[in-house]
Structure 1
Amino acid sequence: MSKDYSAVARSVVEKLGGANNVVALTHCMTRLRFVLKDEAKIDAAALKGVKGVMGVVHNGDKCQVIIGNNVAYAYQEVMKLCSLDGAAADTPAPKVKLTPKVIGAKMLDALVGTMSPLIPAIIGGSMVKLAAMLLLMFNIYEADHSTIILLNTIGDGAFFFLPIMVAASASIKFKTNMSLAIGIAGVLVHPNFIDLMAQAADGRAVDLFGIPVTSVRYTYTVIPVLIMTWILSYIERWVDSITPAVTKNFLKPMLIVLIAAPIGILLVGPMGIWIGTAISAAVYAIHGTLGWLAVAIMGALWPLLVLTGMHRVFTPTIIQTIAETGTEGMVMPSEIGANIGMGGACLAVAWKTKNIALKQTSMAAGASALMAGISEPALYGVLVRLKRPLIAALITGFIVGGLAGMAGIASHSMAAPSLFTSVQFIDVNDPMSLVWVLGLMALSVVLSFVLTLILGFEDIPNDEDEASPTAAKESAKENAEEIETPVPAKPATA
């Protein structure tokens, strides 16, 4: 471990109102995601100044603390302080009046909070599938060779069993029994159930107690199980309230499964598929209408979506689109200019600034964006602080996104676009696709670099004593180190 994160964890927990104020905690690739009892106890200004914290996103009783690529270390230390072994997570959150805004915020939080812990597995599977694709492209193996079949199976694992992963993650978010959630989700990927759905798709009648079952394919899906697990949390509490204490050990789980599974199969599952399909259709209808302009707009907006954490909203859409068509041609191509552009802007800041600490921060943050596709260090450590370099990155995202849309660039996986993951955009039937992608990445670096120098920025004096820049410098430096030697993260559980 390059740094003792116990001090960072203690300071973060203190500024969040103490360990007793933490209800639940998960982490994604760069952020600690807290759920708190009392948002009034959050000292956001002091939290931003904690040495080791790169930024804070505060929304009601939810607080995201940006740490960087070493977030797993901070997560482990915070878990020790808060003792989140289930006791704290069961503490009821304060009731909030439901309004359309609150409902929308809760839905977004549920989706982002559920999907964020699953991203490493999804990216890992995507990269393995890309490796298999490259072996085929260079004629190292034939498509029916056992090596290719096994690599594709390894890569598909996270996607085929995505409903089970979503159930496990959502059970933490909705504070319900994980084993029951996994068991019910497992029904949807059981071989017998898949066979029945195939028969239903062919026109054969399939019913449960005389009620027709809609033919749905649940592998590679997110929304159905997310909704099912949310409903399960209410079913579990209701069944618990009506079952006698002496029968809870056997009667309670049996009733929960017998109630929740049929509801999921008959109603919630098909409804979730319809919702997911409608969202995907809406997104790609915009793409179909605006064409390359939709990719350009997404490229310009992407850094702002990352700032708020809303970029994870597109994860289910990307997964479903790749599963159905094999490629995704709107969101992922738009990230080329956005991610690489933020890295190029940071390099320009490092080139021009006279501030030694800012120079080190910019170099490390730029490397994180360029090499790993992780842009939070660049956003919070450099661009948001200096503002005009962020504008340069937004312009770059628009221009490069538009060019990617015109070229018809599409991704075969969900890894964050970077120099190391550029292979995800290779079309085996079009060798020039690699030339296009590498050319767009080079343009992103040059364009954002030049625009940053043209727009300029207000440099930070060397003698300015700021806690936050110091924290950003050290965290970004560690991020660069971790790109070379990544450390496996402990599973994000609360």
Structure 2
Amino acid sequence: MSKNYGATAQSVIEHLGGSNNVIAVTHCMTRLRFVVKDESLINVTALKTIKGVMGVVHNSDKCQVIIGNTVSYVFKEVTALCNLNEESSNTAKVKLTPKVIGAKILDALIGTMSPLIPAIIGGSMVKLLGMILLMAGVFEKTDPTLIILNTIGDGAFFFLPIMVAASASIKFKTNMSLAIAIAGVLVHPAFIDLMAQAAKGVETDFFGIPITAVKYTYTVIPVLCMTWVLSYIERWVDSITPAVTKNFLKPMLIVLISAPIAIVIIGPVGIWIGTAISALVYTVHDTLGWLAVAIMGAIWPLLVLTGMHRVFTPTIIQTIAETGREGMVMPSEIGANLSLGGSSLAVAYKTKNSELRQTSLAAAASAILAGISEPALYGVAVRLKTPLIASVISGFICGALAGMAGLFSHSMAAPGLFTSVQFFDVNNPMSIVWVFAIMALSIVLSFALTLIIGFKDIPEDDAEVKSKEDKNTAEPTDIATKPTTV
């Protein structure tokens, strides 16, 4: 990755149609996620040739530019160059189709949940620290220090609806304080007690309207749906209130309308939707057992390629929040991530190209140590193709072993050596042995398979030219992609 982040940012914006064409930009661990006004101005081919860009995923007015571990530096330069407060005056209306609706729902989920992931990971890792101290006998369960540590770790989960409301208000362009206030109703101690009484059969109503007994702490979907509806309620109330009364009448009406709707309708429906999604995912797991983890381990790199891996984020977060662990998606990532690291090591070992060797070593370190696999995926596996095949095979085998071992994750940190502690189970000391054994097998197996299958090396003299050609053909999600010659 080039250290000239300003030049990289300038080139990216230029090939997205200029700063005036950028409506919004966010970033995750490795990607810049853009929303543009006019998608016809996006030059995907040119974007892929920029030094420092590993790949591009383009879907309608959304464009993901894969940077790698230095994405935060490029993001700062991008935000400095773009005027993101300017409203589009000529955005074309898109006809609603099932595909467009699905894309918008996915975009809402990703756009809302991605900013929350650091807090979720931070909290879960603190809880894991408490678990390790308990396993080591440093503290008893009733020790105040351990209780405080667990409370620190649980804060992000217990008040997850508040965090979702804040993040979703930005995504849906509605008032953040109002969204937080309404979400706060759902986690207010008095309301929690009322719902506990309703769950015991005590009749509960609001102005005669029955209220379904629901627990909203640790949930995602209800408040996400509520904030989306709030964005429309706010605009409607704004249109009917006189200017002279907007400073007090408008917020009062918004809260009085939105909060009861959330309690009576949207909250229970959101719970049903979230429960249905989780039930579907984990019914597959319960039905197929270890095979479900194996399949997920094989297809995970392909999901990351298309950005579809973020579909599982709300389910993982809510499952960990409610049960304390997740046993299908996260265990599958052990083999998927470290296999990409192992195949990158094999490329670094065998290649005669010094630039490719350097890229492969850095990508392998990122995937194996930190679980950040996209540098290995885009910089090596997709670029050379056969290492991706080796990683898929290894991911399937290691995912099967993770499923058979019954591994569970207590966090949603990307699985790697540094985060291996998230799979330790206080009630199953053998889980530690299984985790490290599967990690070691992932690296060794994918390394060996890559060498056995082989790959076409990039000649040293043609490195720069080949790098650009490979980037132009690296994304299988682009319709215009041509078969690579590497």
What amino acid does structure 1 have at the position aligned with 2:190? N
3-state DSSP of counterpart to 1:176: coil
Match in the other structure for 1:401? 399
Partner Cα distance (1:206, 1:262) in 2? 13
Mapped to 2, the partners of 1:87 and 1:206 lie a distance apart of 47
* Contact kept in structure 2, 1:112 and 1:310, CA below 8 Å: no
Offset of 1:319 from its aligned partner? Answer: 2.0
Instruction: Give the AA of the match of 1:145.
Output: D
SS in 2 for 1:58: strand
Q: How big is the alpha-carbon RMSD for the aligned residues of Structure 1 and Structure 2?
A: 1.9
Tell whether the 8 Å contact from 1:357 to 1:470 is kept in structure 2 after alignment: no
Counterparts in 2 of 1:92 and 1:438: CA distance versus 1, 3 Å: farther
One-letter amino acid matched to 2:86: A
Per the alignment, residue 16 of structure 1 pairs with 16
For structure 1, which segment, 459-468 or 190-199, has the greater mean C-alpha deviation from structure 2 after superposition?
Answer: 459-468
1:62 aligns with 2:73: no
User: Which residue number corresponds to residue 476 of structure 2?
Assistant: none
Pairs within 5 Å for 1:350-429:
350-429=348-427
Q: Paired residue for 2:92, among 72, 91, 94? A: 94
What is the rounded CA distance, in whole Å, between the counterparts of 1:213 and 1:192 in structure 2? 15
2:194 — aligned with what?
A: 196
The percentage of aligned residue pairs carrying the same residue is 76
Partner residue in 1 for 2:205: 207
State the match for 1:161 in structure 2.
159
Give the gaps of 5 or more residues in structure 1: 474-494
- The offset of 1:184, in angstroms, is 1.3
Q: CA–CA distance in 1 between the matches of 2:437 and 2:214? A: 41
| Aligned match of 1:487 | none
Alignment of 1:307-318 (within 5 A): 307-318=305-316
Alignment of 1:229-240 (within 5 A): 229-240=227-238
Distance 2:463 2:356 in 1: 12
**2 CA distance for matches of 1:411 and 1:295?**
13
**How far has the Cα of 1:93 moved from its partner?**
4.2
Deviation at 1:205, TM superposition (A): 1.9
2:454 to 456, 474, 481: 456
- Residue in 2 aligned with 1:44? 44
Q: How many residues are matched? A: 471
Aligned residue in 2 for 1:5? 5
**Cα shift at 1:326:** 2.4
SS at match of 1:23: strand
Aligned partners of 1:45 and 1:180: how far apart in 2? Answer: 43
Per-residue CA shift, 1:73-109, capped at 9, x if unaligned?
211111111132x334x76743111111111111111
- CA 92–397 in structure 1, closer or farther in 2 if over 3 Å, else same: farther
Please point out which of 261, 264, 267 is paired with 1:263.
Answer: 261
Query: What is the alpha-carbon distance in structure 1 between the residues aligned to residue 175 and residue 271 of structure 2?
Result: 24
Contact 2:326 2:408 in 1 (8 A): yes
Output the TM-score relative to the length of structure 2. 0.94
* Post-superposition offset of 1:468: 8.4
Q: Which deviations, in whole Å up to 9, do the C-alpha atoms of 1:118-152 show, x marking residues without a partner? A: 11111111111100000000000111112111111
Q: 1:421 to 1:472 in 2, by over 3 A?
A: farther
Q: Work out the CA distance in 1 between the residues paired with 2:465 and 2:250.
A: 53
In 2, are the aligned partners of 1:384 and 1:390 still within 8 Å (CA)?
yes
Cα-to-partner distance string for 1:454-481 (whole Å, 9 max, x where unaligned): 11111111112537848999xxxxxxxx
- Aligned match of 2:114: 116
In the TM superposition, what is the alpha-carbon distance from 1:323 to its structure 2 partner?
A: 2.8
Q: Does 1:148 align with 2:146?
A: yes
| Residue 343 (1) aligns with residue 341 (2) | yes
- Residue 304 (structure 1) aligned with residue 315 (structure 2): no
Alignment of 1:209-288 (within 5 A): 209-288=207-286
Q: Which of structures 1 and 2 has the larger relative contact order (alpha carbons within 8 angstroms, sep 6+)?
A: 1
The secondary structure found in structure 1 opposite 2:304 is helix
Displacement of 1:295 in angstroms is: 0.7
CA drift at 1:251: 1.6
